[in-house]
Amino acid sequence: MKFSTRSIPSLSALLLLGWSASTLAAPTRAGDVPTKTVRFADLDISTAIGAETLYGRIRTAARIVCRAQPASAVRECRARAVDDAVSKLGNSLLSSIHRSTVERVEEVVRR
């Protein structure tokens, strides 16, 4: 079976982020982060615009799935969900966008 270069990241994301009612439930083990499918077959994530759009979708999905967490855990849940999704996709441009966003937030917090 042949896969295009584009279908491998798509398949990885689908496996990583899952899609069902149960994936939106609270984590089953301590430290697990709930998941949600983020579709991006319509994006060219080898470009800055495509990777930034995907990053926005990942952050939105993290906000949605972490709503069910206790208020004290929401921020950490979102951060872990985004970190996990970005690292598992393994796209260097997406990772760079994520790092720069995290560094900007850390800089603001330090002020």
pLDDT in tens, 42-93: 999 999 999 999 999 999 999 999 998 899 999 999 999 999 999 999 999 9
- Token pair in block for residue 44: 């060219």
- Cβ-count burial 14-48 (b if 16+ within 10 Å, e if not): eebbeeeeeeeeeeeeeeebbbbebebeebebeee
DSSP state of 41: T
Confidence (pTM): 0.67
- CA dihedral sign of residues 91, 94, 97, 101: negative
Mean per-residue pLDDT of the chain: 76
